[in-house]
């Protein structure tokens, strides 16, 4: 959420920066409502000041015996009139403030000053690539075909149990998924992240805090009987562990990693990636979440990306790092890097991680602040997160990049101790 004071003091600059996203965000309405609220606040403040003056005046007159014969009753009548006026003003003020809040909730984050300017994904920038020497053999099978051929993956039975965009993993396929999760968690724990196992169902306030609500409600699964939603990512419950809290500055930075299933309707992806593990309604992911001091925000973002890259390099999966331009940024991100893994069957890179710096956008929504011991007030922390990694997409990349000439899939060296075997 953006700071209304920032919109008020720099409306033209903020509008210009929002325009870089390529949308049609118009601040006119919210600025007009803010002006109305400030006028109401001024009027209420004057009335309260007059009421206080009358109270003091009546007190002095009664103490002195009212020697000058001032009409005390008239003063009391005026005080009552002011009281009624204030009572009438407050509901109007409350309604307009809520309108402002609702409008703020659907305004995206400001692009960071270092985010490259561009209209869409075609203008994203490749920062670096790694592992071209590990790209798989030509004429290999797509991951879903080799998975079914090896008997480790079944889509038809998953559809029977649920619907399309679900998969059942069997035998070594289930073991490979479990091995990937364990390897990722162990690695991140060794790199300084505290593991968290959060709830998989969250309330609306949690989704509001991280920015999924109200804008992306149609992409989430909601429980009809309760104010609970299936999580789209571990980012939601882990970030909201600190909602409405003031963290001691000395405890920053806080690093968490979490494995969870994730649930998404994929409402805007009709007809895309209908086969395989790329776009499922239920998938597993290991997420990294950071709470950091604003002064370390940029450096912490770079190290977050490096932590996600470390997994890909350990697995020897070819990938590239893409810096998203302003026109392709996610709703809450100020700056974002995507990691894209090479899928030989498609002859292209596909996103496997998105590492975002939200600055104070999420913490302002979720009211997560920090305070130093000698500091008078509090500040909003900066939040960052990234997948490290999306497990299903990692499995897809392994199944394709590790096929050999005999039609087997070689298990990456770092996973063999978890699997107790060399091949699928």
User: Catalytic site residues?
Assistant: 264, 279, 351, 354, 393
C-alpha span between 222 and 225 (Å, rounded): 9
According to DSSP, the β-strands at 319-323 and 335-343 are: antiparallel
- Locate all alpha helices (DSSP H) within 114-232, ordered by sequence: 143-149, 156-161, 172-190, 204-210
Neighbouring C-alpha atoms within 13 Å toward the C-beta of 353: 30
In the numeric block, which tokens belong to residue 386? 């990234």
Residue 232 contacts residue 264 (beta carbons within 8 Å): yes
Task: From 316, 310, 358, select the one nearest 333 (Cα to Cα).
Answer: 358
Longest pairwise C-alpha distance within the chain: 111
Chain centroid, CA 200 distance in Å: 16
- Per DSSP, the three-state class of 243 is coil
According to DSSP, the β-strands at 194-196 and 254-263 are: parallel
Class of residue 192 by CB neighbours under 10 A (exposed 0-12, middle 13-18, buried 19+): exposed
- Per DSSP, the three-state class of 228 is coil
Question: DSSP for 252-275?
Answer: --EEEEEEEEEE---TT-TTSS-S
The DSSP letter of residue 388 is E
In the numeric block, which tokens belong to residue 108? 């995206």
Other CB atoms within a 10 A radius of the CB of residue 27 amount to 18
C-alpha span between 369 and 386 (Å, rounded): 21
């Amino acid at each position: 959420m953006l700071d209304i004071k920032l919109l008020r003091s720099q409306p033209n600059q903020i509008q210009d920066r929002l325009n870089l996203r390529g949308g049609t965000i118009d601040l006119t309405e919210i600025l007009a409502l803010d002006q109305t609220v400030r006028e109401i606040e001024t009027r209420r403040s004057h009335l309260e000041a007059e009421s206080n003056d009358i109270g003091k005046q009546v007190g002095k007159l009664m103490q002195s015996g009212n020697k000058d014969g001032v009409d005390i009753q008239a003063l009391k009548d005026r005080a009552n009139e002011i009281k009624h006026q204030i009572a009438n003003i407050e509901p109007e003020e409350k309604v307009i403030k809520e309108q402002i809040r609702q409008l703020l909730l659907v305004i995206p984050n400001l692009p960071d000053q270092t985010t490259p300017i561009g209209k869409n994904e075609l203008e994203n920038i490749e920062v670096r690539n790694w592992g071209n020497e590990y790209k798989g053999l030509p004429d290999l099978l797509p991951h879903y075909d080799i998975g079914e051929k090896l008997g480790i993956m079944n889509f038809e039975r998953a559809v029977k149990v649920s619907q399309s965009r679900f998969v059942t993993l069997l035998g070594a396929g289930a073991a490979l998924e479990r091995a990937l999760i364990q390897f990722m968690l162990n690695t991140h724990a060794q790199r300084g992240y505290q593991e968290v196992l959060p709830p998989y169902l969250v309330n609306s306030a949690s989704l509001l805090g991280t920015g999924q609500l109200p804008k992306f409600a149609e992409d989430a699964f909601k429980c009809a009987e309760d104010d609970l939603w299936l999580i789209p990512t571990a980012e939601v419950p882990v970030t909201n562990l600190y909602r409405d809290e003031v963290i001691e500055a000395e405890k920053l930075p806080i690093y968490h990693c979490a494995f969870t299933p994730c649930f998404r309707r994929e409402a805007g992806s009709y007809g895309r990636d209908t086969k395989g593990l790329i776009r499922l309604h239920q998938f597993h992911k290991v997420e990294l979440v950071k709470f950091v001091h604003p002064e370390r925000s940029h450096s912490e973002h770079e190290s977050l990306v490096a932590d996600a890259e470390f997994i890909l390099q350990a697995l020897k999966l070819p990938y590239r790092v893409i810096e998203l331009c302003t026109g392709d940024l996610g709703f809450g991100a100020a700056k974002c890097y995507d990691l894209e893994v090479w899928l030989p069957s498609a002859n292209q890179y596909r996103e496997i991680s998105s590492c975002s710096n939200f600055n104070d956008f999420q913490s302002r929504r979720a009211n997560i602040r920090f305070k130093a011991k000698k500091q008078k007030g509090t500040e909003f922390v900066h939040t960052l997160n990234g997948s490290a990694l999306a497990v299903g997409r990692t499995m897809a990349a392994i199944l394709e990049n590790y096929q050999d000439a005999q039609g087997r899939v070689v298990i990456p060296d770092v996973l063999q101790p978890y699997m107790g075997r060399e091949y699928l």
